[in-house]
Amino acid sequence: MVYVRQEKLPNLKQYKYSGVDHSLVSRYILKPFYTNFVIKCFPMSMAPNLITLTGFSFVVVNLLTLLWYNPTLDQDCPPWVYVSWAVGLFLYQTFDAVDGSQARRTHQSGPLGELFDHGVDAVNTSLECLIFAASQNLGMGWKTVMTLFGSLLTFYVQTWDEYHTKTLTLGIVSGPVEGILILVAVYAFTGIKGGASFWQQSMFRTVGIPHLAFIPDVLYEMPFNEWYMVQGGFVLVLNTIQSCQNVIKARRARGDKSRGALLGLIPFFVTWTLIPAYLYLQPNILHNHLVPFVFYAGLVNAYSVGQIITAHLVLLDFPYYNVLVLPLAYAVFDSLGPFLQAHIGVGWPSALGDDIYQVAYMFCMLGMAIGVYGSFVIDVIVTICDHLDIWCLTIKHPWNEEEEAKKAK
């Protein structure tokens, strides 16, 4: 399948990265650290995309330790596992941040770098949700699903914002900066406390807040992990509103209608109407096979985000269609028949049932997602590399200052 037509490839020449980072932590702490120390650890011969991929490998190692020690997301791991998650995530953030600096100092900046960087981030988003769920002992249930929803929505909205404003905007508090640092701190503290069961305690009682008369029992007994989800939901709402305002302002400045841009949020919410519906109708998947389903949901979002970034780079119309949603829509339809029959007396029989065939179908959806997203990534990367005469993970044309000066003369 062809994802980028040849006639659209010349638009890559118009690409110019534009980013705004309002984070004070990034400006005064992280960027000086990256510029004065980290970037010097990488040789000039190392391709920026290889740095990105190397950083992602730390997250993969974290995921493997998760699957070995806590595949059900509700067991305590050895303390060193949580510390390793903190170190791995911090290294991922660091490598992900310096790949741009490496691209600039090696003169390898280009559209492929942005596509590769966003693609890796999109896959990491869902993987990190599983690791966070394990660090809080959320288990296979709705809390993990809610965490996944918030993380994927944040990334989708950020990419949608960049498509319409042509600028990657990070607020004073953002997921790629403060969000990751908070997770690093949470993982490290979990290791210090000896396990994720610590976060199951009442936050008010643990920190010594007395149970005053005006504090409801439900609120007083809320554990740490639920308070973290409340905080995350609050930040999610603020960032979504801010992105919508950015898009509306940019569209109006160009004389375009903002309503058309807001329609770009519909594909995400259509998907996330089907996901909770499917998990509600199939509790076996929710409580026993949520981890592979999260992989599937993450790839669905990564494919949507990848299409948006590609459309941004080659100036295509906004992509509203995601073929990976179709098998999920069928699964919901198939599961809805017996549910309606049981509750209102009118329905249709299920072809998959709710046991082994349903689980097999869910793994088929995951396999399809891996195949489609994998073909998309390979096709787009190969197409762009061929057109720009570059390589993806190595530097094909090293920068030579003397030769470039002669060409300029």
Statement: the pTM of the whole predicted model exceeds 0.85: yes
Q: 242: burial class by Cβ within 10 Å (0-12, 13-18, 19+)?
A: middle
Phi, psi of 157, rounded to the nearest 5 degrees: -65, -40
Q: Are the beta carbons of 165 and 248 closer than 8 angstroms?
A: no
SS3 at position 168: strand
Rounded CA-CA distance 58/252 in Å is: 42
Number of H helices, E strands in the chain: 17, 2
pLDDT at 1: 59
Is the model's pLDDT at 403 over the cut of 70? Answer: no
R_g of the chain, CA atoms, integer Å: 23
Is the model's pLDDT at 2 over the cut of 80? Answer: no
User: Is residue 95 a part of any domain in this protein?
Assistant: yes
Active site residues: 118
Q: Are the beta carbons of 200 and 137 closer than 8 angstroms?
A: yes
The 10 Å Cβ neighbour count of residue 373 is 20
Chain segment 294-307, per-residue pLDDT in tens = 999 999 999 999 99
The 10 Å Cβ neighbour count of residue 345 is 7
| Residue type present at position 342 | A
Rounded CA-CA distance 257/274 in Å is: 29
User: Is residue 1 a part of any domain in this protein?
Assistant: no
Rounded CA-CA distance 264/260 in Å is: 7
Rounded CA-CA distance 32/322 in Å is: 40
User: Is residue 232 a part of any domain in this protein?
Assistant: yes
Is the model's pLDDT at 25 over the cut of 90? Answer: no
CA angle 294–297–298, rounded 5-degree value: 85
The 10 Å Cβ neighbour count of residue 189 is 15
Chain segment 127-169, per-residue pLDDT in tens = 999 999 999 999 999 999 999 999 999 999 999 999 998 888 8
Token code pair at residue 189: 């503290």
SS3 at position 347: coil
Is the model's pLDDT at 281 over the cut of 60? Answer: yes
β-strand partners of 168: 19
Token code pair at residue 197: 């069961």
**Domain boundaries, position 71:** 6-402
Tell which residue, 300, 299, 374, has the closest CA to residue 3: 374
pLDDT at 71: 94
Q: What number is the average pLDDT over the span 352-367?
A: 95
Is the model's pLDDT at 404 over the cut of 80? Answer: no
pLDDT at 407: 59
What is the count of structural domains for the chain?
A: 1
**CA torsion, ordered 14, 20, 26, 32, to nearest 10 deg:** 50
Q: The tokens 């089907």 sit on which residue? A: 274
Per-residue b/e over 284-305, b at no fewer than 16 CB within 10 Å?
Answer: ebbeebbbebbbbbbbbbbbbb
Rounded CA-CA distance 333/330 in Å is: 5
Token code pair at residue 48: 């920026």
User: Is residue 408 a part of any domain in this protein?
Assistant: no
User: Is residue 33 a part of any domain in this protein?
Assistant: yes
Is the model's pLDDT at 187 over the cut of 70? Answer: yes
pLDDT at 339: 93
Counting residues of the chain whose pLDDT is more than 70, the rounded percentage is 97
Is the model's pLDDT at 238 over the cut of 60? Answer: yes
Q: What number is the average pLDDT over the span 2-10?
A: 82
Q: Are the beta carbons of 341 and 347 closer than 8 angstroms?
A: yes
User: Is residue 136 a part of any domain in this protein?
Assistant: yes
Q: What is the CATH number of the domain that holds 156?
A: 1.20.120.1760
SS3 at position 21: strand
230-234, Cβ contacts within 8 angstroms, sequence gap of 24 or more: 232/147, 232/150, 233/150
Q: Are the beta carbons of 26 and 177 closer than 8 angstroms?
A: yes
How long, in residues, is the chain? 409
SS3 at position 223: strand
User: Is residue 396 a part of any domain in this protein?
Assistant: yes
Rounded CA-CA distance 247/118 in Å is: 19
Is the model's pLDDT at 340 over the cut of 70? Answer: yes
Alpha helices in 48-141 (DSSP H): 48-69, 79-105, 111-136
Mean pLDDT, the chain, integer: 90
Rounded CA-CA distance 82/93 in Å is: 17
Q: The tokens 């948006």 sit on which residue? A: 308
Q: The tokens 């305590």 sit on which residue? A: 76
